[in-house]
Structure 1
Amino acid sequence: MRKSALAVVLLMPAVALAGMPHFSLTELASERLEAISFFLALYVLVSLGVWGLWRRLRRDVTRLPALSFGSALAMVFLLGLALQLVLSMIAGGRELMTPGAWEKSGVTHRLAPTLLPSDSELVLQARRQRLDELRLALWAHAADHGRVFPASDQGTEIAPARWKVLGDSGMHFIYVGGQKADESSLPLAYEPGIFGRERWVLFANGDIQRLPIEAIHRALTAEATP
């Protein structure tokens, strides 16, 4: 009887008390841990592939020495170092041919802002693409919520990355909540002031246009005026 009662107590789910400490990784640490885990898994898979191919080739070419899995790991590692050396030489040559054209951004390099005009056609289309990605997320949310868009851009309905504009500024699109999909032609989201006077704007009917900020404000105030 005592053993049965003890078994019931052990099998019952424990109740978590409020205020108990909870530890978790930050978003940046979690992303880096995922990247490292993916790299290690890919490294092991590539080594397994090299090991298997070597064993298969050895059946036909018997003069080849036996290759253990540890040796396959070392071979892939050495090949990776050789490729890294080649890429470093290419990057060094690029810097020598265009001194000052590249600047460090994290672990990589990018063109200096003075050499990458913000109004170039390529950048304009990239900015529009970022707004179009937000449009897809908003319409997917509206399809599951009776055509209603999120009340604000501070909720968890849409991933935070979808609200961010193009670039490393960390700024978000300006969002006008409280609307429904395809119900009006009001501006729904548009770029902030870092992009100057001409900005991409998404309307509640799904249209995306590039308009001066004055036209965007007029569209907002015209709808609000009775």
Structure 2
Amino acid sequence: MNKLLLSVVLLTPAVALAGMPSFLFTEIAEQRLEAISFFIAVFLLVSLGVWRLWNWLRRDVPRLPRLSYRASLALVFLVGLGLQLVLSMIAGGRELMTPGAWEKKGATYQVIPTPPPSDADLLVQARRQRLDELRVALWAYAAEHGRDFPKSDLGTELPAARWKVLGDSGLHFIYIGGQKADAPATPLAYEPGIFGRERWVLFTDGDLRRLPVEDIHRSFVAEGAP
């Protein structure tokens, strides 16, 4: 009877109440471990290739010293450090030439996309373009008249549409006649008051600047202009 009970106990499966602990890496740790393992494997293979190629080359060039595998490991390591230094200098020079233009995305860097210009910026550039068209017409006139600009914006020297500012207001640029092309920089034409305090100004040296109206008036006083 005792033997029968012992056989039943031994043959009946029981639930295990204890087990071996299991530790797992996080996904990032696994990726880093795989990357390090791959790098070490490639490093050892490249060193092996350098070692075999170097000693194979000794057959034709006996002056070369014999290279051990340990020495080939050191050689590949030193060459890798030199390449890393060169790449770091290139990356640093790139950042110095274009500061703030790169952002990190994943494992690499890419140029930060330039945001599209706003409607206000487009309007400012369109106003400048309008004054630049007048500049081209004035300099073409001065080239044919001994560097003299038209005496007034009310004459027929230039088409009437050339004097008009951007938009449907029908207003003209404020023009200061009686000056010469390529003379010391004084205001030649600038936008009227509908464009606010900051206005585009054309100077007699051909420069275009956006200035507060106070600075425009001060330049008149400095040059003795009306």
TM-score (norm 2): 0.47
Q: Which structure would you say has the larger Rg?
A: 2
